Chain A
Amino acid sequence: MNIMLNLRAVRGRAYPRVIGALREPSWMLWEVVLPMLSIAAFIYFYRSLNAPKEFEGFVVLGGVMTTYWLNVLWGMASQFYWEKETGNLQLYLAAPMSKMSILAGMALGGIFGTTVRAVSIIFIGVFVFEISFVISHPFLLVAIFMVTLLAMYGMGMMFASLYLLWGREAWNMNALFQEPIYFITGQNFPVKALGPTVAMAASVIPLTLGLDAMRQLLFPEAAGWGFLDPMLELGILCVSAVIMLVMARQLLAFMERKGRETGKLTMRWQ
C-alpha cells in the first residue's frame, strides 16, 4: 500500500469539506440555527415540567452529539449514494488509492465542520440558556468524546459501504435513523430510563454509551442516572470503534466487488 498516496487522498477529500465549511457562511448559519430551534424547544419543555437544571444540560449535550450523528448519516453514510447520483463515484473507483482513504477524508473534513457547529451550540447553551458544565475528569471526557466519534464515523463508513449499491433506500434509511435513534440512544434523557435490556441493545450505536458517559462526567449531580461506569463505557466504545472500522473495510471491498459484477455502481435515479 502506498501510504503517501493514501494520505494525499485523505487530505484531498477533507479539503473541500473544510474549505466549504468556511467559504459558505450561510451553511454555518443554517446548521447552527436549525438544531438550536429544537434544542430550545426541548429546554423549554423541561422547564415547563420543572425538571432539574441538569436536564437542560442533557438537551444541549444531546444536541451537540446529534450534530455529529447527523454528519455521520448525511455526510458519511449516504455520501457514496450522492457521489453515484452526481456521477463522481466512478472517478473515485477508477483512482488508485484505497476507498477507505476517501471515507477517512470525508470523516475528518466532516468532523471539522461539525465541531464548529457543536462549539456554537455549547456557546449558546452556556450563555443563552445558562447551562453549567462541570468538567471534573477532563482527560477521560476528551478520551470518551474522541473514541465515540471514532466509533460513530466508523459506523458511518460501514453504512457508506452498505449504501453503495442502494438508490432511494439509502436516503430513506438515513431518515429513519433520526428520531427513532434519538429515542433509543437517550438523546435528551438518561438512557437508563429505558431499562437495562433496551439500553444494552441501544449500546450497539456508539452514541448511546458516549452520551451516557459524557452526561455522567459533565453533570455529576445526575451521576445516579448513569447506565454503566464511564471507564467501562470507554472500553466498550474502543472495542466498538475497532469492530466498526474493520467491518467497514470488509464491507466496502465486498460491496464494491458486488457492484462491479452487477453493474450497479453507475446506476442513477433508482
Chain B
Amino acid sequence: MSLKSSMWLQYQIDANWTRPLVFVVYNILRPVGAALLLVAMFYVVTGGYMGGGSLAYLYVGNAFFMLIAQTLFFVGWVVHDDREHYQVLKYLYISPMSYFKYLIGRTAMRFLLSGFALMVLIVLGYLLRIPYRIDWLLLVAVFLVGWAFIVGAGLLLSGINMLTARHGGAVGEALAGIFYLLSGAIFPLSILPQWVRGFSLALPSTYWFSLVRRAVLGAESEEVMAQFTTLQVVLYPMAISMVLLGLSYLSFLGVDHLTRKKGMLDMTTTY
C-alpha cells in the first residue's frame, strides 16, 4: 500500500503543478533537447551525413541514459525535499509505513515517467533512420536490470542523504555523470585512456549499455564489450544490482538508527 501511495505522490509532485498536456511536453523536452544536442554535434563533424553505426550507437545510448540521469538526479533530492523543503519527513516516519518502501515507490514512478520520455526518443529515432532491430525479450531484461541497478544506486544515495545537509542533487548527478562518461554510453570504451577502462568494466552500467545495444540494435558494435556474451551482460549488472539493493537496505537500517539517534529527522538547514 505504501508503495502504491508513494508512487501516486511522486506523480502528483511531478505533474500537478500544471495541466497534463503541459506536463507531458515538459517531461519529454529535456531528453529530446539532450538528444538533439548530440545529434547536432554528430551532424557538424560528419559534414551533414546522418547515418552509420556511430549515430545509432550514440543515439540509443543517450536515449537510455536518460533513465539513469533523470532517476538518479531526482533520487538525490527526495530525502532533502521531504526533510527540508516540505518538512514532512517526521510525519512520514510516524505514519504506519516503511520509509524505505516509500523511497522505492517514489523512485519507481520517476523511472516510469522517464520511460515515457525514452519511448518518445525511440520513436524520434525512426526519423533519423536509426536501424532498430529490437529483441523484445532482451528489452524486457534491459528494463528489469536497469530498474534494479538504478534504484539500488539511488536508494544507497538516499541513505547517505539522510545524514547530509545538502549535495543531494549533486551526488546523484555525479553518479549519473560517471556512468555517462565511463560506461561507453555515447562513445566506444576504446576511446578512453587504457587505465580508465578497467574501472569502466567494473561498472554495472557498462554491461547494461551493452545489453541495451544488443536489445535495440540487434548486436554489440563496441569492440571491448563484444567479447562478452549476452548472458554475461545480463547476469553481471543483475548481480551487482542485487548487491546494491542489499547494501542500500543495510545502509538504510544503519542510517535510520543514526538519524533518530542524532535527532536529524526534522533538521532544517535552509540550504
Interface set of A (CB-CB < 8 Å, partner B): 26, 30-31, 33-34, 37-38, 40-42, 44-51, 55, 85-86, 167-169, 172, 175-176, 178-183, 186-190, 193-194, 225, 269-270
Whether the Cβ atoms of B174 and A189 lie closer than 8 Å is: no
* A30 in complex: contacting residue of B167, B180, B186, B191, CB < 8 Å: B167
Interface set of B (CB-CB < 8 Å, partner A): 13, 17-18, 26, 29-34, 36-38, 40-46, 54, 58, 85-86, 167, 170, 173-174, 177-178, 180-181, 185-188, 191-192, 270
Whether the Cβ atoms of A169 and B40 lie closer than 8 Å is: no
The distance from the CB of B48 to the nearest CB of chain A, in whole angstroms, is: 9
A168–B23 Cα gap in the complex (Å)? 12
A34–B178 Cα gap in the complex (Å)? 9
Whether the Cβ atoms of B188 and A189 lie closer than 8 Å is: no
Whether the Cβ atoms of A183 and B37 lie closer than 8 Å is: yes
Residues of A within 8 A of B85 (CB): 85, 269
A167–B270 Cα gap in the complex (Å)? 17
Whether the Cβ atoms of B36 and A183 lie closer than 8 Å is: yes
Q: List 14 A-B contacts (CB under 8 A).
A: A30-B167, A38-B181, A49-B42, A175-B30, A176-B26, A178-B33, A180-B29, A183-B36, A187-B37, A188-B41, A189-B40, A189-B44, A193-B40, A194-B40
The distance from the CB of B270 to the nearest CB of chain A, in whole angstroms, is: 5
Residues of B within 8 A of A167 (CB): 17
6 smallest A-B Cβ distances: which pairs?
A: A37-B177, A180-B33, A179-B33, A48-B187, A179-B34, A168-B17
Residues of A within 8 A of B167 (CB): 26, 30
**A-side binding surface: helix, strand, loop or mixed?**
helix
Whether the Cβ atoms of B37 and A48 lie closer than 8 Å is: no
A156–B45 Cα gap in the complex (Å)? 33
Say whether, besides A48-B188, A180-B30, A55 and B45 are in contact (CB < 8 Å).
yes
**B-side binding surface: helix, strand, loop or mixed?**
helix
A41–B177 Cα gap in the complex (Å)? 9
Say whether, besides A45-B186, A49-B54, A180 and B32 are in contact (CB < 8 Å).
yes
Chain B, residue nearest A168 (CB): B17
Question: Among B17, B26, B42, which residue has the most Cβ atoms of chain A within 10 A?
Answer: B17
Say whether, besides A44-B191, A48-B54, A38 and B45 are in contact (CB < 8 Å).
no
Residues of A within 8 A of B36 (CB): 180, 183
Whether the Cβ atoms of A181 and B180 lie closer than 8 Å is: no
Whether the Cβ atoms of A176 and B40 lie closer than 8 Å is: no
Chain B, residue nearest A59 (CB): B41
Whether the Cβ atoms of B37 and A182 lie closer than 8 Å is: yes
* A34 in complex: contacting residue of B29, B38, B173, B191, CB < 8 Å: B173
Say whether, besides A30-B167, A30-B170, A172 and B26 are in contact (CB < 8 Å).
yes
The distance from the CB of A219 to the nearest CB of chain B, in whole angstroms, is: 13
Whether the Cβ atoms of B30 and A179 lie closer than 8 Å is: yes
Whether the Cβ atoms of B170 and A179 lie closer than 8 Å is: no
A24–B58 Cα gap in the complex (Å)? 37
* B37 in complex: contacting residue of A34, A44, A175, A188, CB < 8 Å: A188
The distance from the CB of B70 to the nearest CB of chain A, in whole angstroms, is: 10
A225–B167 Cα gap in the complex (Å)? 39
Chain A, residue nearest B58 (CB): A45
Say whether, besides A38-B180, A55-B45, A47 and B187 are in contact (CB < 8 Å).
yes
Whether the Cβ atoms of B18 and A169 lie closer than 8 Å is: yes
Say whether, besides A176-B29, A190-B44, A44 and B192 are in contact (CB < 8 Å).
yes
Residues of A within 8 A of B29 (CB): 176, 179-180
The distance from the CB of A195 to the nearest CB of chain B, in whole angstroms, is: 11
Chain B, residue nearest A85 (CB): B85
* B86 in complex: contacting residue of A37, A172, A269, CB < 8 Å: A269
The distance from the CB of B17 to the nearest CB of chain A, in whole angstroms, is: 4
